[in-house]
Each structure stands twice: as structure tokens, then as C-alpha cells.
Amino acid sequence: MAYFRRDLEDTVLQASSSYKAVMVTGARRTGRTTMLKRLAQGGDRAVVTMDDLVLRNLARSEPRLFLQIYRPPVLISEIQKAPELLEAIAEVCAATEDKGLFWLTGNLGRKIAGKTDLLGRDLKVLNLYTLSDREKLGVQPEKELSLEPEDLRERKKLFPRNEITAAFDGIWRGGYPEVQEMEPEELAAFFSNYVETCVLRDAVDDYGISDTDGFRRFLRACAASAGELVNYNDLGAASGVSGVTAKDWTRVLCSLGITFLLEPFVSEKVKRLGRTPKLYFCDTGLRAYLSRWSGREVLMNGAAASGYFENHVVGELVRNFAYEEQETGLSFYRDWKKREIGLIAERNGVLHPIEVRMTERPGQRDGKAFSLLREAGGETGRGAVICLTSQVAELPENAVMMPSNVI
């Protein structure tokens, strides 16, 4: 399988030179351990996994002895399966000023909730998502994403023409590294195996979920309602469980890196803003499998196409902002009159409104709601309508028409 260079690689190396321990979280099979192994090539870093039952039993029963055998620098994958190691790791870190001692992968589930606090400032946690469009293409822009027209025109030169068929091939296939070279008929088998051996197994082993049939139904219910305001009672009813259980299971999926919640925008100057988050899938390929979309063409021409396109664009923005050095917050606007702005990117105190449209030519009024941000106070910057265009053009309301494939 070909290796895809990850945008997170440089961040990992920078963190390793500043922190004693670096932990990469995210869903299974996103390439966390593969990336770290590649970065460790040529060095003396040992590599062990807690998926190995013998090693896991040793790590849990004799964590200090384990670290005597596997001395740092060491890469330990799936650390949540041996949370006892974290106290021993903290002791090693406290006894030295050396950096980059431990590279860890895993999820921040209930088994290690609070235990990572033992490492305090010695630990840097990073998150790896499935492949972004630009990682698939091997494109590495020198500058961070800017919504200014001239910056976008320069950035667009690095990417191929924006086409709906290419966009939906990526949406239906998803971003797991293993599926990129698979034939279409192989994808269903991959995702079926992934759900059973990764998602369900971790839900049972790491979170104690015993109702696996109900959890399967819950996964499909989430896939069907992704992009909408979360309604835990509806999700529970579709899964045969209570709304309280559905809320707990949502936290599990977020912790496993399967879904994420987009929080609503909050402002002290605007009363009666919505408080309910929206649920999105981290990988649209997995979502398409769970909703039984059998192919790119069927999905692209189906009633849910615009929702999947939105999920894809939101996911690309989440990836981009997560990997950038500059911190950017992402939310959405919805008030009591049900007036909405699809996304708000907040960077350095400046609010940038964003809409997502599955069209090649957005209308002049697609950015009309951007003016709502002026009521929220604070500084409002350039907005964007992200769509299937191949051109960059200025729009009313200080907005820009932006190709979806240049994120």
C-alpha cells in the first residue's frame, strides 16, 4: 500500500522536540501508527502495540517492568488498552528533562480519562483524521488557508480542476488510506470489517457497551441524520434505546474518532441563539457505507447528495484548521428565528462566515445571512461560499466564491 504523507507529520516532530510525550488520537486505521513508524525510521525508537495480548498483560500487571524492557524512546500504540502504563510513563518523564521520550497512539476514552493529567505539561495531544483531499493528491501549500481572493487564486494553481465526479468519488470512497487503491466492489467488505473489528470491538472493550445490535442501529441512525441538529431522543428511538443512552453513545463515537460535534456560535450580544450542536461524520466513506449507498453515481444523484457534500467540506475544514499552527475555531450560527450561517471560522478574534453549496454557480444571495454576524459584535472578516466552481470570484457581503477542492 502506498504511503500518503500526512500534514500532521511536521507538527508531531515539532511537538516531540518540545514535549516529553506526544499522543496521536483519532479513529483506528487512519494511519496513526504507520505515520509514527515512518517518522521513527532511522532512529532507535522501539515500537510496541497494546493489541498484543502478551505485551498488554505485562504492561497492565507490571508497568514499570514493561518500561525497563521497552526503554524510551519508544512508540506505544493503543495505549488506552493499558492505562496502567500512564502512571509509570509520568514517573519516567518527571525524572528527566529529555524530550520526545514517548510517542503514543490511542483514544481518550473512559479508561484513560483523567490519567493523562498525570503527565500534565509533559504531554502534547494531537489528532489525526482520515486523508484529506490534498493529502491524497500530495499537495502541500506553503501558506495557511486564506479567504482573500488573490490568495485563493494562487492556492488554486496547486490543485486540479474542481469536478463533481472527482468530488463524489472522494466522498463515497472516504479517506481511510487502505481504501484508496481498492476497487469499488472491495469497499463494502472493508467497511463491514471495520465496523465489526474496530468500532464495535472498541465500543465493547473500551466503553463496556453490551448492546451491540442496538449500537449498530445507532451507527446507522447517526449516518442518516448527520449534518442536522442532534436529537438524542430521535436517535435513541431509532436504535431502541433511551435518549440518555443515545447521548452517551454519541460521546463514545466522538471519542473513537468516528463522528464530531459542531458547536453553535455563542455571543453575549445576541440573545436566544441556538444551543444544540450538529453531528457530522469524520469520514464520509464510512457514512455512505452505513447508509447503504452502493456507488458514487447513486450517491451523487441521490436526495442526500448535498448533505454529503456539506459533510465533506466541513470535514475538510476541520482537518485543515486542526493541522495549522494558527488556532481557528469552527462553529455555526442559528438563532431563534431559525436564521442560519452554515459555518463561522474564528481566527485571531475575527469572524469569517462560510456557506457550503453543491452548485457550480452560487447565487448572489447565498451570502445574505452573513450580515447577521454584524449584530453579534466583534470584527467580521472575509466570508466564503464554498462550492463546485473552478473559479475564484468576489461576491456581495464581502464574500468570495471558493472552489471546494482547494481547502
Pairing status of strand 340-347 against strand 328-334: antiparallel
Q: Walk along the chain (407 residues) and give the pLDDT tens digit of each residue.
A: 889 999 999 999 999 999 999 999 999 999 999 999 999 999 999 999 999 999 999 999 999 999 999 999 999 999 999 999 999 999 999 999 999 999 999 987 766 767 777 788 999 999 999 999 999 999 999 899 999 999 999 999 999 999 999 999 999 999 999 999 999 899 999 999 999 999 999 999 889 999 999 999 999 999 999 999 999 999 999 999 999 999 999 999 999 999 999 999 988 777 778 899 999 999 999 999 999 999 999 999 999 999 999 999 999 999 999 998 889 999 999 998 889 999 999 999 999 999 999 999 998 778 888 988 887 777 899 999 999 999 999 998 899 999 999 99
Instruction: Give the chain's domains with CATH numbers.
Output: 9-127 (3.40.50.300), 133-406 (no CATH)
Secondary structure class of 281 (helix, strand, coil):
strand
Q: What is the dihedral of CA 53, 254, 196, 205, to 10 degrees?
A: 30
Pairing status of strand 102-105 against strand 74-77: parallel
Residue in the block written with cell 532511522: 42
What kind and span of H or E run contains 127? strand 123-127
C-alpha–C-alpha distance, residues 402 and 367, integer Å: 12
SS3 for 55-118 is HHHHHHHCHHHHHHHCCCCEEEECHHHCCCHHHHHHHHHHCCCCCCCEEEECCCCCCCCCHHHH
Instruction: Quickly count: other Cβ atoms within 10 Å of residue 92's Cβ.
Output: 19
Q: What is the pLDDT of residue 326?
A: 86
Q: What is the pLDDT of residue 119?
A: 87
What DSSP state is assigned to residue 351? E
**Residues 126, 24: contact at Cβ < 8 Å?**
yes
Residue in the block written with cell 498525570: 118
Sign of CA dihedral 11, 14, 18, 22: positive
What DSSP state is assigned to residue 199? I
C-alpha–C-alpha distance, residues 269 and 206, integer Å: 42
Among candidate residues 179, 318, 303, the one with its CA nearest the CA of residue 257: 318
Q: What is the dihedral of CA 243, 213, 261, 119, to 10 degrees?
A: 110
SS3 for 295-313 is CHHHHHCCCCHHHHHHHHH
Cis peptide before 149 (omega within 30 of 0): no
**Residues 264, 275: contact at Cβ < 8 Å?**
yes
E strands in 259-374? 259-262, 278-281, 328-334, 340-347, 350-356
Q: What is the pLDDT of residue 234?
A: 98
Q: What is the dihedral of CA 347, 385, 323, 28, to 10 degrees?
A: 130
Q: What is the pLDDT of residue 113?
A: 67
For the chain, the distance separating the N- and C-terminal CA atoms, rounded to the nearest angstrom, is 25
Among candidate residues 155, 163, 195, 192, the one with its CA nearest the CA of residue 309: 163
Q: What is the pLDDT of residue 376?
A: 75
Among candidate residues 308, 294, 299, 298, the one with its CA nearest the CA of residue 225: 308
C-alpha–C-alpha distance, residues 230 and 224, integer Å: 12
C-alpha grid cell for residue 101?
Answer: 521520550
**Residues 235, 250: contact at Cβ < 8 Å?**
yes
Secondary structure class of 131 (helix, strand, coil):
coil
Sign of CA dihedral 234, 236, 238, 241: negative
